[in-house]
């Protein structure tokens, strides 16, 4: 699969979030062999937990499944750029690579680019942004207008 194929799956996961009354944020985790091992999305309203973003839910779920707190070698595909809380959790979990679709909106609670945060990280990860950006932005903007 290509980066675009994986991102397309993350965007589809974000669509599930919308159908469940959540914000359109989806995440896909790929293991070192290229196999999709976890999909998740925003569940803030469902769980009454402001930290229940897709990335956090995915980290919690996969770490529990693997019985391991390190996800070194794993790659995250997120429909939108992770917020600072999610990015910090990804660093703590030792994620190796991040691909994101749309850039964080300027109205986010803490709009600091992940690239900037990554320069301060003890163990930075590889980051590639703007994968299927147009599709991710369109999805996010249509959710806001509804």
- The residues assigned a catalytic role are 55
Contacts with 126 (C-beta within 8 Å, 6 or more apart), sequence order: 96, 97, 98
Q: What is the CA radius of gyration of the chain?
A: 14
Q: Report the distance separating Cα 45 and Cα 3, nearest Å.
A: 30
Q: Are 78 and 54 in contact (CB under 8 A)?
A: yes
| Region at 67 (left for phi over 0; alpha for psi -120 to 50; beta for the rest) | left
């Amino acid at each position: 699969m290509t980066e675009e194929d994986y991102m397309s799956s993350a965007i589809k996961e974000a669509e599930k979030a919308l159908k469940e009354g959540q914000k359109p944020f989806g995440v896909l985790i790929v293991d070192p062999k290229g196999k999709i091992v976890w999909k998740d999305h925003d569940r803030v309203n469902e769980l009454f937990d402001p930290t229940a973003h897709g990335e956090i839910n995915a980290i919690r779920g996969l770490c529990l499944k693997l019985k391991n707190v390190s996800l070194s070698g794993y790659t995250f595909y997120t429909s939108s750029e992770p917020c600072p809380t999610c990015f910090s959790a990804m660093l703590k979990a030792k994620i190796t690579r991040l691909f994101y679709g749309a850039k964080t909106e300027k109205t986010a609670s803490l709009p600091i680019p992940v690239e900037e945060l990554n320069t301060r990280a003890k163990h930075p990860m590889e980051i590639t942004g703007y994968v299927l950006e147009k599709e991710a932005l369109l999805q996010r903007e249509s959710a806001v207008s509804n």
